Every structure is written in structure tokens, then in C-alpha cells.
Structure 1
């Protein structure tokens, strides 16, 4: 049984998730528990089980998506799942819109329901492994995830808050194709011992240039609130994985051209690996 199916079944078994703790997770059937997962040596066959942590706007989606293509596992972004639900006519789309537009976190139970549906869909397609982006976001989510699957690695992306704010305010979406772009041109010089940082804008092709829109929740007030909430919630999650020896903190040195090869090196994935995957 795949790890994704184990996770799906266990998440579905925990509808009253807000009351679930590590002790409760220990009561799940042994067949669902991480002890029955393949060993590290079998990771290639089962696919990696990775998690991306990081503040909103840090670039989790960009780097998780690239690694997803490189390693051949699905990139599952809970933020995308929320936005897809918002665009639907689902029964709680309006409730979600009210939460998101105020910069608040979506409830654990809602996130789990959306993630369960995504995993069920992927399992039906034969997906193996995953790179989670935006989950777990709370310590309770981390505990339940730890109870049902053995996460191999947690990549914690770090970036200065002033840069994060600029990046979030520069995000744009093409209203026609749904592509994600960023019009922010960041060039901060070294000052007071802080290293400088340069990030080029991620501009759209000409056919999308006139169709760019901002996300409704990407206002300065909402972005600052999201960053504040994330910082308050993230430390216990980081410590949870740090204590397990699974946390890799990666400070982004700049834009994609500078950061991507350094991230590959930190993950022991060299250029030849990337080129072979691209040619396959």
C-alpha cells in the first residue's frame, strides 16, 4: 500500500482533527503507521516524502515544483488547493474567502479535507511519493503527519522579511492561463553587516502581459498579517523536525539563477542528475 494511501486513510479517519494528538495517532491501525513504510534504501521505488516550510512568498512553490519535476513525484501545494476551492462553487468557498482575505490561517480540518481529496485523486492515477508545500503548518498537523508516514526531509526556506514583503506585493497571476509571475525587481545593497540580495522580476510572456492581476490577499496589510501569523506558528513546527534531525534550513542567497544550483548542492543533487532527468 502506498504511503499516499496510508496518509489519505488516516487523515480521513481524523475528522475531529483539532483534538488529535500524538497519543491519538498511536492508536491508528498498525498497517497505517510509519513503521510499515519502506526503508530509506527503497526511497527511489516509493518516491521521496519531502516537506517544504517557509513564509508566504518565500518561493516554496517555485523550488518544490522544480524538484517535483526533477525527482518525478507530485508537488502538492495546499495553498493551490485552497485557491481551487475558492474558485469553485463549493459549500464553504465563501467561508474560505473571508478567512483568506483577512490574512488568517485556514482551519486544520479544512486543509486536511482538501489534502485528502488531492491524495485520493493522485492515488487513482498511480502517484508515488510527494513533496508537500504548505503542510504541515501547525504543530498538530506535524504530529498527525508524523504518525502516518515517515517524512524523509523538511526543507525550510529562509528569506529576509523586507524582501518577502516586496516579493508578495509583486506577485501577479495571468487571468487567462493562470500562470504565476512577479513584477518586483529587488536589488538591496549590503548594509550594516547584512548581505545584499538581488532578485530579477519573473515577467510574463507578451501574450500574458496585459492580463496580469494581483491576488486579492496580496495587500501590504494582509501580507504583514500573514507573515506575523506564520512566524508565530512556525517555530514549534521547525523545532519538531529539528529534534528529529530532518530539518534542512536553506537561506536563499538571491533569485532562482543563484539559489537553484546551491539548493541542488545542499540536497546532494548535482547538475548531471538534473540534466539526465531533463533528457529522460
Structure 2
């Protein structure tokens, strides 16, 4: 089983992908983690990707596909989290899977309004030392501004500031609209209400995958 997760930042895609990968024994391929790991390990593909990232440019589709192909299990299913983001990327992914005699089974769209995304992300606090993540409303630290785990100072990352989040959301919405239509035409798309709690979203995911609807 091969599935793709689409959704705006803060929609819970990563959390659900981790849960589902354990429940159904699927590999979880997060393109963000993949890039960071390849750069950290200084693999040939990672070094190439770093050149683009250092210039503030998007990593080319061909390079992202090569990275995915490198870690894609030869057997067994996987969840793609963060790719594709555009129709050209979806076509390249389709071609790659065809070359391996495989098909994409399902695409899940995590639906979340801009206002909820802003509330979820702008409340995030990150430890400047150990990287632990808290939330002002949903998961506050025991002592304000201090990490429970290491005592480090909690900060708000630049990309968690409201104006940045709104910009990211609009870019996501603009980029993803044609992709949503692309997968709808292929009868691959299932919408999920990502405003529901984690357990309910997970229950719906499992129901769709096990019953096909």
C-alpha cells in the first residue's frame, strides 16, 4: 500500500503518518526529514541539495525523486509525507512508481482552515537547547518560558510567527489546488477533517484504508 498525505503546515500529517506507519507496518517517508538527514550525512545527493538550500532555492523535483527512490522500500508499503506538492511532481512520482511496477493507492487531504493553522502554529514554543516542542495553549511547559526537559529557554521560531504562517498557508493553498484536482480526477483523493482530535482522524484513516471508503 502506497499513500500520500497532503495538507497545510500544522494539519497533523506528520503525527498521523507516524501513527499509521506503526499500525500498518508502513515506512514513513517525510521529505523534510529526508533532506535534513541527507545533508547531515553529506551523501552525494545531500551535498547537491545543500547547494540549492544554501542559496534559498527550492530543491529540484529530479533531486527530490532521486532521494525518495534511494530510500523507497523495494517491497512493502509506505507513506509519502510532504511530496508531491505540485502536479509536475505528481507526474514524476507516477512515472517513478510505474518504473518499479507499483501504483499509488490513496491520497489523503488533511483539511484545515487558515485560522486554525495560525492558532496551532503561532502558539508553538521550541527549546533553544534540546529542540523539544511545546504549545502555549495545548501543551504548556510547567514553568513559563523554560523547557521541562533540560531547563533551556523556550523561543518562537521565525516560521511560527503569524505573518509567516499566513504566507506559508497561502502559498500552500495556491500550489495545492491543481494537485487536489489532479488526484480527484484519478479518484484517489479522500478529504479528512483535520480539526478533529488525533484519535478520530486516525480512526477515519484506518476505516478508509481497510474498507476502501
TM-score if structure 2 supplies the norm length? 0.76
Tell me how many residue pairs correspond in the alignment. Answer: 198
Alignment of 1:56-71 (within 5 A): 56-71=9-24
Unaligned residue ranges in structure 2 (runs of 5+): none
- RMSD after superposition: 3.1
Show the counterpart of 2:139.
Answer: 201
Show the counterpart of 1:159.
Answer: 112
Match of 1:135 among 63, 83, 87: 83
1:196-222 deviation line (CA, Å, top 9, x unaligned): xxxx33869832563655545333333
Show the counterpart of 1:96.
Answer: 53
Match of 1:219 among 151, 161, 186: 161
Unaligned residue ranges in structure 1 (runs of 5+): 1-47, 186-199, 270-280
Show the counterpart of 1:238.
Answer: 180
1:74-102 deviation line (CA, Å, top 9, x unaligned): 10011222333565663553641553xxx
Distance 2:76 2:94 in 1: 18
* 3-state SS of 1:217 partner: helix
**CA 1:238–1:268 in structure 2 vs 1: closer, same or farther (change >3 Å)?**
same
Which of these two proteins has the greater Rg computed from alpha carbons? Answer: 1
**CA 1:91–1:155 in structure 2 vs 1: closer, same or farther (change >3 Å)?**
closer
Distance 1:164 1:151 in 2: 28
TM-score if structure 1 supplies the norm length? 0.60
Distance 1:139 1:219 in 2: 29
* 3-state SS of 1:151 partner: coil
Distance 1:49 1:97 in 2: 32
Does residue 252 of the first structure (1) align with residue 194 of the second (2)?
A: yes
Does residue 54 of the first structure (1) align with residue 7 of the second (2)?
A: yes
Distance 1:92 1:63 in 2: 27
CA contact (8 A) 1:166 1:184 kept: no
Shift of 1:70: 0.5
**CA 1:129–1:258 in structure 2 vs 1: closer, same or farther (change >3 Å)?**
closer
Distance 2:121 2:7 in 1: 13
